[in-house]
Amino acid sequence: MSTLDEMEMPTLTFDPAPVPEEKAPVVPVQEEKAKLDDSMLNDKERQMVESFAKQIDIRNTNGILQYGAGTQKKMADFSEKALENVKTKDLGSVGDMLSNVVTELKSFDAQEEEKGFFSFLKKPVDKITTMKTKYEKVENNVEKICTALENHQTQLMKDVAMLDHMYEQNLLYFKELSMYILAGKKKLEEVQEGQLKELLTKAQASGLAEDAQAARDLEAMCGRFEKKVHDLELTRMISIQTAPQIRLVQNNDTVMVEKIQSTIVNTIPLWKSQMVLALGVAHSAQAAAAQRKVTDMTNELLKKNADTLKMATLETARESERGIVDMETLKATNESLISTLDEVMQIQQEGRQKRQEAEAEMQRLENELKQKLLQVR
């Protein structure tokens, strides 16, 4: 990890706006507390402040106007760049994509079953085919969203590195401004306690107008320079406020990168695993249903065969124990024969009786005829 000493060294100059060199993004250092003393500076930077303070000419109006202006200009450009980064940062689209992933995954319910009057006509294979078709559709949509998310993740990671660089630059500008302020205050204190007091003492002692004017001029220049140092302190405060803003944006980017990564490496693979399990369960259920049907059919067949065998065995046993002629048949035959004999005997008796009656009638008729014949003589 880089340290502040390995970063770009702060520079102090009277030039209005030096052009900074482009630096590659580096790992950020921990933010230091802003203090208006030299405890935040290393020995080399303290020597730079001391040396620069000696070069300050408060009587140089143009120099005073340009004092710290270069760093202020860089700070203004930097703040504008940071603001632009925040304004153009649209994490809503990434959030929408993550929501779309959840919506797509929820749209597929492996346990969903078709209901309705004709649902029982559906074969089990139809359900599995429907599941596979729906899975492929959802998978295609999810893959497209994941591709877009990966592109956003790459851009966000670049933004995080860029924000690291911005944080480093802001820290550098903060230190430069602090060094300008320290050098300015040292010079101001030196002039106010030295030259200004001498001129005031001289003016009071001499009573000359030119001495008084010289004292007033230097006092006015000290006032202008003090205002300039105050302006630098305001710019330094902007730098202090910019640091947490950069970290806030960077943290938002990092959170989105983590969410995207979690979705890609955790949520999607987990969903695919659950899909494989769901299809496996569906296949197992289908196989179990088929096996159940085979078992039911086998049991039914065994029952029917047992019933048929029972009936056939009983019929065979009955037939085997049955005589050639049943007793009922013999009784019926015997009764029929007896009845026939009785009827024959009755008919014979009636015939004899009728013959006897006919014989007697013929005898009567013959006698009656003989009587008539005798009478005819």
Q: How far apart are CA 226 and CA 216, in angstroms?
A: 15
Instruction: Flag whether 314 is in a domain.
Output: no
Q: How far apart are CA 171 and CA 165, in angstroms?
A: 10
Greater confidence, 281 or 240? Answer: 240
Which tokens is 154 given? 């790459």
Instruction: Flag whether 318 is in a domain.
Output: no
Whole-number Cα distances in Å, 363 to 350, 352, 358, 376 = 19, 16, 8, 20
Using the predicted structure, report yes or no on whether residue 28 has a pLDDT greater than 50.
Answer: no
Using the predicted structure, report yes or no on whether residue 21 has a pLDDT greater than 50.
Answer: no
Instruction: Flag whether 182 is in a domain.
Output: yes
Residues 192 and 333 in one domain: no
* Structural domain ending residue among the three candidates 224, 244, 264: 264
Stretch 261-267: mean pLDDT: 83
Burial class (CB in 10 A: 0-12, 13-18, 19+), 32: middle
Residues 188 and 333 in one domain: no
What's the residue count for the chain? 377
Using the predicted structure, report yes or no on whether residue 67 has a pLDDT greater than 60.
Answer: yes
The long-range contacts involving 48-52, CB below 8 angstroms and separated by at least 24 positions, are 48/10, 48/12, 48/179, 49/12, 49/179, 49/182, 49/183, 49/186, 50/183, 50/186, 52/12, 52/179, 52/183
Residues 251 and 358 in one domain: no
Task: Answer for the pair 145, 104: CB distance below 8 angstroms, yes or no.
Answer: yes
* Residue 20 confidence class, pLDDT cut points 50, 70, 90: very low
* Structural domain ending residue among the three candidates 264, 295, 314: 264
Query: How do residues 314-344 score in pLDDT, each as one tens digit?
Result: 888 877 776 676 778 878 888 888 989 888 8
Instruction: Flag whether 321 is in a domain.
Output: no
Per-residue pLDDT at 32: 41
Residues 336 and 248 in one domain: no
Task: Answer for the pair 196, 215: CB distance below 8 angstroms, yes or no.
Answer: yes
**DSSP secondary structure code for residue 33 in this structure:** P
What DSSP string describes 222-233?
A: HHHHHHHHHHHH
Instruction: Flag whether 309 is in a domain.
Output: no
Full domain range(s) for residue 369: 327-377
Using the predicted structure, report yes or no on whether residue 138 has a pLDDT greater than 80.
Answer: no
Residues 152 and 38 in one domain: yes
* Structural domain ending residue among the three candidates 264, 290, 311: 264
Per-residue pLDDT at 92: 55
Per-residue pLDDT at 113: 46
How much is the pTM?
A: 0.56
Instruction: Flag whether 50 is in a domain.
Output: yes
**DSSP secondary structure code for residue 10 in this structure:** P
Residues 256 and 367 in one domain: no
Query: How do residues 162-182 score in pLDDT, each as one tens digit?
Result: 888 888 988 888 888 888 899
H-type alpha helices, the chain: 43-55, 61-65, 69-88, 92-107, 124-193, 195-206, 209-262, 268-321, 327-376
Q: How far apart are CA 283 and CA 287, in angstroms?
A: 6
Residues 228 and 343 in one domain: no
Instruction: Flag whether 299 is in a domain.
Output: no
Instruction: Flag whether 156 is in a domain.
Output: yes
Stretch 247-267: mean pLDDT: 86
* Residue 116 confidence class, pLDDT cut points 50, 70, 90: very low
Q: How far apart are CA 129 and CA 106, in angstroms?
A: 19
Q: How far apart are CA 233 and CA 34, in angstroms?
A: 11
Residues 339 and 252 in one domain: no
Residues 69 and 189 in one domain: yes
Which tokens is 121 given? 């006509």
Stretch 343-361: mean pLDDT: 89
Residues 247 and 377 in one domain: no
* Residue 97 confidence class, pLDDT cut points 50, 70, 90: low
Residues 253 and 337 in one domain: no
Per-residue pLDDT at 230: 92
Residues 221 and 76 in one domain: yes
Per-residue pLDDT at 86: 58
* Residue 195 confidence class, pLDDT cut points 50, 70, 90: confident
Instruction: Indicate the number of domains in the chain.
Output: 2
